């Protein structure tokens, strides 16, 4: 009996085929095959939001091939990803291929390993229509909001803009934070920081302590005058240890990753944008060729918000820990992390499929990015199984004369536990990590230094990808699987720019948020959007009807939109043009940057009297080594920067490496900089061979 298994990607197909053998054909659907066409709304609102699906443009030959292959086989299994989107893809495939929805032809794999595939194939089920309806509901909801709101915003602000149900809330959060920063008024405060020495013969090392106040209350110092007055009172007083408290504390490891925490930690530790993290995680899940093993999935499914792990994986991880570090590095009782009540517990946490396979064993088979992410996932999972870190703490109160108190604290590591391997990047100590010298009650201290230091309270920081994802998750906005696309959308549309790791709203982003806040308050209301997510979850659990859920939202939204259109009839919100230092050679005005259908361009502000326009060229100020024209920077389709001649196509000079204004000291040619992990400056002139020594 011949069987066909349909998955989403060729990489996954290759890995699964290896385990299923010759009785099975395994093919890829290349993601979605049927969807709402983009060139129209494709939803019949009057007929209870009936979707008008069609084969995705360009996928017709693939669909025909899938039909042919399905016809040749006695059984078809739908093995798309185990989530809402995967379930919907299977449902669309079943429709296209004419499969019976009552037949148990749906299989899911939590991990692409021999065991994971065996478990999946032994437990086929029918397509989960509640899961499909939840995906349909979200898809139609987002289509309605996007296609009804975007034209309105484009008309009122600028052509080509878009709005979305979740992206607009994320943008509002970033804009709100920027407004908080602008309105922040710094407050002055002072600290009194002391250094003390203990008696000779006991110890030599100085230790630090901070002014606290009196024994009765903490004193906040808000001015130099107050600071100077206290320093004057402290002049000449004696210092002694009033109290010493010694104790032990335990630090527990962080749980294994879920989708959101993986994106946050990869951003903080590796500098990966969430989109990059999810792409690499998908590769590790679907399977990579590992030397000596062939194609194998190295991690479990990467779209999950469950902290559950299988007992088999726990046992394998424990065995690795026992062998490498010893029995003492395992806790007395296994540690179980509690999953949030709102989480979808269908999958395990993100973990290595083979806990005994440490990163160094597979390093040679992985790309640099794959290795970094696998190492992060492996270490986090392994550490989550390990014993607590045990610290010895010391807290001391220091009496300054008869009135004031200073406080000092420190700790030493008694047992490193899980920290021998991994410590979360947001898990660092706020206090001094050094040990205090041996301190005893009533010990006399010698003051080495006492300084009054001025400080100012700081405004809240801008969101980074990591902190925005954390905020979205905490507020129940979107789902972990959507965070990467949300951030990608608002940055690619230039509503938000990146400054180092920070996300800063552009003037355009603020203008859109201002309009949305004023006219569509519900759409950008955090609590309302979070409730909508709960409603979608209810559809998934079979507790709510998807059509009713759409009516509940859309009927009110459509009424709101009609009222706003009437109120703003004839009103447009002007965006000021960005002035450049380029002078229009036709009329002498300073030209401005405008945005049209095909992107940004430079134009004369004197239009329609003066119609002078220019392309935006990102000039490097370096002459072309081939023809002497200007070298300009461009972007490839994948967003990678490369350099070419402004006289293209007449001149075909192109380079991935950055040309520098600095001349080669050996031959006078143009120097180039290779922007890799270890940057290198070199001369490309034939026969020169100059390479700049690393400084």
Residue 689 pLDDT greater than 90, yes or no: no
Task: Find, among 338, 343, 308, the residue nearest to 473 by Cα.
Answer: 343
Residue showing tokens 């990808």: 465
User: CA 675 to CA 51: how far, in whole Å?
Assistant: 48
Is position 463 annotated as part of the catalytic site? no
Note whether 441 and 244 are within 8 A (CB): yes
C-beta atoms surrounding 661 within 10 Å: 10
Residue 149 pLDDT greater than 60, yes or no: yes
Note whether 299 and 280 are within 8 A (CB): no
**Cα 594 vs. chain centroid, distance in angstroms?**
31
Quote the strand ranges of 459-506, DSSP E: 496-499, 502-505
User: Which distant-in-sequence residues (6+ apart) come within 8 Å of 231 by Cβ?
Assistant: 192, 450, 452
Note whether 427 and 199 are within 8 A (CB): no
C-beta atoms surrounding 236 within 10 Å: 8
Percent of the chain with pLDDT over 70: 95
Let me know if 299 is exposed, middle or buried by CB neighbors in 10 A (0-12, 13-18, 19+).
buried
Note whether 75 and 103 are within 8 A (CB): no
Q: Which residue has the higher pLDDT, 263 or 639?
A: 263
Given this model, what pLDDT does residue 599 score? 67
User: CA 245 to CA 104: how far, in whole Å?
Assistant: 65
Q: What is the mean pLDDT of the chain?
A: 91
User: CA 366 to CA 291: how far, in whole Å?
Assistant: 10
Note whether 69 and 18 are within 8 A (CB): no
User: CA 174 to CA 168: how far, in whole Å?
Assistant: 10
- Angle separating helix axes 274-286 and 368-384, nearest 10 degrees: 80
What is the strand order of the sheet 599-603 is part of?
A: 578-583, 590-596, 599-603, 613-614
Given this model, what pLDDT does residue 575 score? 78
- DSSP classification of residue 270: I
- DSSP classification of residue 41: -
Q: Each residue of 658-684: pLDDT tens digit?
A: 899 888 888 888 899 887 766 788 988
User: Which distant-in-sequence residues (6+ apart) come within 8 Å of 217 by Cβ?
Assistant: none
pLDDT band at 443 (very low <50, low <70, confident <90, very high): very high
Residue 300, H or E segment: none
Task: Find, among 108, 89, 102, the residue nearest to 346 by Cα.
Answer: 108
Q: Which residue among the candidates 301, 329, 411, 495 is catalytic per the annotation?
A: 301
C-beta atoms surrounding 235 within 10 Å: 8
Note whether 523 and 168 are within 8 A (CB): yes
User: CA 606 to CA 268: how far, in whole Å?
Assistant: 47
Task: Find, among 137, 166, 143, the residue nearest to 544 by Cα.
Answer: 137
Percent of the chain with pLDDT over 90: 71
User: Which distant-in-sequence residues (6+ apart) come within 8 Å of 153 by Cβ?
Assistant: 161, 162, 163, 512, 515, 516
User: Per-residue pLDDT averaged across 632-646, rounded?
Assistant: 80
User: CA 375 to CA 379: how far, in whole Å?
Assistant: 6
Note whether 573 and 511 are within 8 A (CB): yes
Task: Find, among 521, 549, 556, the residue nearest to 535 by Cα.
Answer: 549
Q: Each residue of 227-259: pLDDT tens digit?
A: 999 999 999 999 999 999 999 999 999 999 999
pLDDT band at 430 (very low <50, low <70, confident <90, very high): very low
| pTM: predicted TM-score of the whole model, two decimal places | 0.82
Residue 433 pLDDT greater than 70, yes or no: no
Task: Find, among 594, 644, 637, the residue nearest to 619 by Cα.
Answer: 644
User: Per-residue pLDDT averaged across 555-571, rounded?
Assistant: 94
Given this model, what pLDDT does residue 668 score? 84
- DSSP classification of residue 299: B
Task: For residue 111, list its beta bridge partners.
Answer: 300
User: CA 168 to CA 161: how far, in whole Å?
Assistant: 12
Q: Each residue of 8-53: pLDDT tens digit?
A: 999 899 999 989 988 899 999 999 999 999 989 999 999 999 999 9
Can you read off the two tokens belonging to residue 360?
Answer: 């160094």
User: Per-residue pLDDT averaged across 403-415, rounded?
Assistant: 95
Residue 468 pLDDT greater than 90, yes or no: yes
Given this model, what pLDDT does residue 201 score? 65
User: CA 521 to CA 533: how far, in whole Å?
Assistant: 17
Give the three-class secondary structure for 461.
coil
User: CA 465 to CA 429: how far, in whole Å?
Assistant: 23
Give the three-class secondary structure for 220.
coil
Given this model, what pLDDT does residue 322 score? 97
Q: Output the furthest CA–CA distance in the chain (Å, rounded).
A: 96
User: Per-residue pLDDT averaged across 415-428, rounded?
Assistant: 82
User: Per-residue pLDDT averaged across 372-388, rounded?
Assistant: 97
User: Per-residue pLDDT averaged across 125-152, rounded?
Assistant: 95
CB contact burial 239-260 (16+ within 10 A = b; e otherwise)? bebbebeeeeeebbbbbbbbbb
Q: Each residue of 275-303: pLDDT tens digit?
A: 999 999 999 999 999 998 988 999 999 99
Strands 3-7 and 75-78: parallel
Given this model, what pLDDT does residue 343 score? 60
Domains of the chain: 3-127 (3.40.50.140), 137-183+461-567 (1.10.460.10), 188-252+389-456 (2.70.20.10), 259-384 (1.10.290.10)
Given this model, what pLDDT does residue 695 score? 46
Strands 502-505 and 239-251: unpaired
Q: Which residue has the higher pLDDT, 601 or 539?
A: 539
Note whether 234 and 400 are within 8 A (CB): yes
User: Which distant-in-sequence residues (6+ apart) come within 8 Å of 101 by Cβ?
Assistant: 91, 94, 126, 127, 129
Can you read off the two tokens belonging to residue 241?
Answer: 């240890």
């Amino acid at each position: 009996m011949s069987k066909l298994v349909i998955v989403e990607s060729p990489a996954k197909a290759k890995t699964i085929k290896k385990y299923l053998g010759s009785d099975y054909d395994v093919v890829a659907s290349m993601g979605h095959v049927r969807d709402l066409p983009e060139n129209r709304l494709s939803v019949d609102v009057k007929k209870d939001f009936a979707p008008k699906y069609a084969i995705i443009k360009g996928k017709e030959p693939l669909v025909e091939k899938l039909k042919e292959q399905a016809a040749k086989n006695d059984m078809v299994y739908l093995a798309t990803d185990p989530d809402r989107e995967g379930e919907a893809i299977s449902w669309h495939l079943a429709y296209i291929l004419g499969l019976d929805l009552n037949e148990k032809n749906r299989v899911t794999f939590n991990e692409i390993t021999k065991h994971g595939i065996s478990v999946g194939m032994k437990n086929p089920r029918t397509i989960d229509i509640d899961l499909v309806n939840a995906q349909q509901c979200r898809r139609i909801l987002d289509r309605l909001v996007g296609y009804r709101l975007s034209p309105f915003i484009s008309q009122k602000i600028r052509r080509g803009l878009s709005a979305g149900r979740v992206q607009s809330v994320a943008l509002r959060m970033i804009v709100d934070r920027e407004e908080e920063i602008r309105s922040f008024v710094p407050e002055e405060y002072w600290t009194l920081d002391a250094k003390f020495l203990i008696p000779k013969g006991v110890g030599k090392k100085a230790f630090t302590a901070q002014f606290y106040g009196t024994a009765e209350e903490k004193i906040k110092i808000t001015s130099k005058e107050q600071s100077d007055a206290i320093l004057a009172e402290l002049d000449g007083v004696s210092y002694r240890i009033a109290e010493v408290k010694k104790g032990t504390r335990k630090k527990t490891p962080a749980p294994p990753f879920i989708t959101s925490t993986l994106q946050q930690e990869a951003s903080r530790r590796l500098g990966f944008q969430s989109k990059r993290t999810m792409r690499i995680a998908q590769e590790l899940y679907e399977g990579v060729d590992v030397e000596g093993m062939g194609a194998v999935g190295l991690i479990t499914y990467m779209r999950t918000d469950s902290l559950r792990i299988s007992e088999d994986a726990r046992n394998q991880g424990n065995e690795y820990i026992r062998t490498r570090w010893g029995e003492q590095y395992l806790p007395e009782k296994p540690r179980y992390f509690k999953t949030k009540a709102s989480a979808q517990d269908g999958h395990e946490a993100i973990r290595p499929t083979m806990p005994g396979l440490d990163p160094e064993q597979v390093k040679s088979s992985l790309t640099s990015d794959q290795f970094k992410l696998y190492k992060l996932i492996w270490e986090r999972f392994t550490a989550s199984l390990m014993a607590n870190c045990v610290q010895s703490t010391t807290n001391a109160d220091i009496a300054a004369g008869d009135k004031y108190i200073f406080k000092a604290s420190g700790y030493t590591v008694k047992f490193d536990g899980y920290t021998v391997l991994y410590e979360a990047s947001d898990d660092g100590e706020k206090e001094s990590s050094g040990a205090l010298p041996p301190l005893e009650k009533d010990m006399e201290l010698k003051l080495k230094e006492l300084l009054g230091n001025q400080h100012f309270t700081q405004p809240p920081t801008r969101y980074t990808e990591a902190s925005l994802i954390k905020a979205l998750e905490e507020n129940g906005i979107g789902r972990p699987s959507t965070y990467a696309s949300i951030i990608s959308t608002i940055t690619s549309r230039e509503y938000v720019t990146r400054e180092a790791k920070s996300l800063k709203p552009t003037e355009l982003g603020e203008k859109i948020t201002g309009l949305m806040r004023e006219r569509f308050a519900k759409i950008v209301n955090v609590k309302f959007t979070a409730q909508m997510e709960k409603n979608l979850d209810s559809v998934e659990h079979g507790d709510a009807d998807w059509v009713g859920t759409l009516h509940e939202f859309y009927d009110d939204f459509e009424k709101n939109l009609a009222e706003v259109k009437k109120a703003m009839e004839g009103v447009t919100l002007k965006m000021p043009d960005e002035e450049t230092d380029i002078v229009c050679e036709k009329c002498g005005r300073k030209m401005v940057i405008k945005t049209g259908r095909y992107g940004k361009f430079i134009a004369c502000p004197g239009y329609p009297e003066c119609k002078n326009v220019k392309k935006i060229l990102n000039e490097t100020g370096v002459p072309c080594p081939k023809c002497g024209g200007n070298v300009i920077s461009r972007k490839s389709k994948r967003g990678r920067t490369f350099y070419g001649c402004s006289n293209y196509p007449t001149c075909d000079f192109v380079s991935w490496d950055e040309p520098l204004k600095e001349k080669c000291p050996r031959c006078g040619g143009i120097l180039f900089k290779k922007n890799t992990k270890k940057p290198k400056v070199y001369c490309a002139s034939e026969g020169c061979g100059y390479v700049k020594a690393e400084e």
